[in-house]
């Protein structure tokens, strides 16, 4: 296949992806009202309209105490009762009284949080975790409003009160702990790179094999605005030409159009992108740990403790493995639930 043929072939997966997202956006816009019996969804514009912009997020004023890991959270303080029994946690009781759990999610990260173009629902590993929390609060996993947000609006959406929880591939680090709180780690990802395949001796092989090769060649690498991925590229790999975009699928579009040479991000996210493009492959070793936690506003530490109790239940009753096997094992291999780390106090 010549270069033109490969370019045309690469455009076909992009067309499907963008078309599906456009259809999803139209469907999202049509979703209304908390009175709907199932989960509702609002679009990015609706989700962050009342929130300050990412640029307005206050700068961190402190870092993690020396004796604490960024992965340390608040220990559960009460055992879980039957689903619907949340009287021990005042913030959770207020959510139950309101009638719905508001969760900030992605709609474009395949396998974690993405809109199914056929069913119209948002689904993935992050979504399963959010539904499990709603189930424990209401005894109904559908009493939930999904608010589609960008990576850069995760913290502002929590600080404004627009969402109760963010379940959107959210890496825990000290700077973010200065602004919000996190649950215990529910998924341990790692930063890698996605590159295109090229023909060599009649076979399709990766065009590059590591972030180090890309940096040495001063290639263009895309990552999302406000992510730890773009921060790590700037800090550790100054040789790359960084390209920052609001959402992950913008990176994929630029990659397929030849505007960037690679995409960097969490391997759980890159696996979803590779599934949409047969001419893409995830390469290289992990060069940065990405422990995912559920983001929660600092005003509600008891919600953190409640969520940690729910996560512990998912680790022990097999629900975590069931969800992981459904969404991630095929791309990343088998895994066990991350061991929770506690010791932090509000």
DSSP per-residue letters across 227-255: SHHHHHHHHH-TTSEEEEESSHHHHHHHH
Instruction: Write down the residue that tokens 């993690």 correspond to.
Output: 64
CA 127 to chain centre: 10
CA-nearest of 20, 335, 43 to 190 is 335
Assess whether pLDDT exceeds 70 at residue 149. yes
Q: Which CATH number fits domain 31-49+69-186+293-327: 3.40.190.10, 1.20.1630.10, 3.40.50.2020, 3.40.50.970?
A: 3.40.190.10
Domain 31-49+69-186+293-327 matches domain 189-289 at the CATH topology level: yes
Average model confidence (pLDDT) across the chain:
84
Give 310's Cβ-side CA count (13 Å radius): 26
The band of 56, judged by pLDDT with boundaries at 50, 70 and 90, is very low
Note the pLDDT tens digit of each residue in 34-43: 334 467 776 5
Find the mean pLDDT for residues 64-85. 92
Pick the residue with more confidence: 263 or 328? 263
Are 148 and 105 within 8 A, CB to CB?
yes
So where are the chain's domains? Answer: 31-49+69-186+293-327, 189-289
pLDDT of amino acid 64:
78
Assess whether pLDDT exceeds 80 at residue 82. yes
pLDDT of amino acid 139:
98
pTM > 0.85: no
Q: What DSSP designation does 346 have?
A: -
Rounded Cα distance between 146 and 130, Å, is 9
Note the pLDDT tens digit of each residue in 125-138: 999 999 999 999 99
Class of domain 189-289: alpha beta
Burial class of 23 by CB neighbour count within 10 A (0 to 12, 13 to 18, 19+): middle
Rounded Cα distance between 252 and 244, Å, is 12
The band of 207, judged by pLDDT with boundaries at 50, 70 and 90, is very high
User: 212-235: string of b/e by CB count within 10 Å (b at 16+)?
Assistant: bbbbeeebbbbbbbbbbbbbbbee
Find the mean pLDDT for residues 188-215. 94
Question: Which tokens hold the place of 20?
Answer: 């599906």
Question: Coil, strand, or helix at residue 271?
Answer: helix
Instruction: Write down the residue that tokens 């990260």 correspond to.
Output: 109
């Amino acid at each position: 296949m010549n270069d033109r043929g490969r370019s045309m072939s690469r455009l076909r997966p992009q067309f499907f992806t963008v078309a599906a997202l456009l259809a999803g956006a139209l469907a999202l816009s049509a979703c209304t009202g908390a009175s709907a019996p199932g989960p509702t969804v609002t679009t990015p514009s609706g989700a962050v309209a009342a929130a300050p912009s990412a640029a307005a997020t206050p700068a961190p004023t402190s870092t993690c105490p020396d004796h604490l890991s960024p992965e340390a959270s608040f220990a559960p303080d009460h055992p879980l009762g039957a689903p619907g029994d949340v009287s021990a946690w005042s913030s959770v009781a207020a959510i139950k009284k309101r009638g719905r759990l508001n969760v900030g999610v992605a709609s474009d990260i395949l396998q974690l949080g993405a809109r199914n173009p056929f069913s119209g629902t948002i689904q993935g590993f992050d979504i399963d975790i959010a539904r499990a929390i709603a189930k424990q609060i209401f005894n109904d996993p559908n009493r939930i409003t999904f608010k589609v947000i960008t990576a850069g609006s995760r913290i502002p959406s929590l600080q404004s009160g627009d969402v109760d929880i963010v379940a959107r591939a959210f890496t825990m680090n000290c700077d973010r702990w200065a602004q919000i709180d996190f649950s215990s780690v529910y998924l341990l990802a790692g930063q890698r790179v996605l590159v295109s395949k090229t023909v060599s001796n009649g076979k399709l092989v990766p065009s590059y094999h590591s972030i180090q090769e890309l940096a040495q060649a001063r290639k263009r690498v895309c990552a999302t605005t406000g992510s730890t991925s773009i921060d790590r590229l700037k800090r550790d790999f100054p040789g790359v030409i960084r390209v920052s975009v609001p959402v992950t699928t913008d990176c994929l579009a630029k990659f397929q159009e030849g505007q960037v040479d690679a995409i960097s991000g969490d391997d759980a996210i890159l696996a979803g992108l590779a599934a949409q493009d047969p001419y893409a492959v995830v390469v290289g070793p992990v060069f940065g740990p990405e422990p995912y936690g559920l983001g929660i506003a600092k005003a509600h530490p008891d919600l953190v403790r409640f969520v940690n109790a729910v996560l512990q239940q998912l680790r022990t009753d097999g629900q975590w493995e069931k969800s992981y096997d459904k969404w991630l094992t095929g791309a990343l291999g088998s895994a066990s639930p991350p061991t929770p780390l506690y010791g932090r106090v509000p």
